[in-house]
C-alpha cells in the first residue's frame, strides 16, 4: 500500500480517502518503513512523478514539475539530475 501511495502522486489524505483506509495507518507505515531503510543504510525508496515537455513552453507553463507530499516544484527547463536528487534528499528530512 505504501508503494502504491508513493507512485500515486496524491496527497496522503486523498489517497486514504479513496481507499477507505486510515490516514494514521498510512503515516505509521511510511514512517516505519523509511526508518528501517535508514537503519539498513539504504536510502528510502521513493517515486516522484516528473512531467517534461519536449519544447520550451511559450505560455509560461513549466517544462518540468516535481510533486512530493504537500509540495510541487515547477522548472522552465529540465534541471540536472544531481540537483534534483539533492533537492529530493533535503525535502525528505
Position 16 confidence tier, pLDDT thresholds 50, 70, 90: very high
Residues 6+ apart with CB under 8 A from 77: 56, 63, 64
Q: What is the structure's pLDDT at 66?
A: 74
- Residue 26: enclosing H or E segment and its boundaries? helix 23-39
Per residue in 23-50, pLDDT (tens digit) is 999 999 888 888 887 787 755 555 555 5
Sheet holding 64-68: strands in order across? 50-52, 64-68, 71-75
Per residue in 43-92, pLDDT (tens digit) is 555 555 555 555 555 566 666 777 776 677 777 777 777 777 777 777 66
Report domain extents, the chain.
1-45, 48-93
Write out the three cell numbers for 27: 503515516
Whether 2 has a pLDDT exceeding 60, the answer reads: yes
Amino acid at each position: 500500500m505504501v508503494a502504491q501511495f508513493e507512485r500515486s502522486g496524491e496527497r496522503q489524505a486523498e489517497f486514504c480517502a479513496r481507499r477507505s483506509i486510515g490516514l494514521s495507518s498510512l503515516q505509521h507505515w511510511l514512517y516505519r518503513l523509511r526508518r528501517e531503510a535508514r537503519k539498513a543504510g539504504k536510502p528510502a525508496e521513493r517515486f516522484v512523478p516528473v512531467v517534461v515537455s519536449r519544447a520550451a513552453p511559450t505560455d509560461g507553463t513549466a517544462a518540468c514539475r516535481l510533486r512530493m507530499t504537500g509540495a510541487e516544484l515547477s522548472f522552465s527547463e529540465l534541471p540536472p539530475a544531481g540537483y534534483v536528487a539533492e533537492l529530493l534528499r533535503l525535502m525528505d528530512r
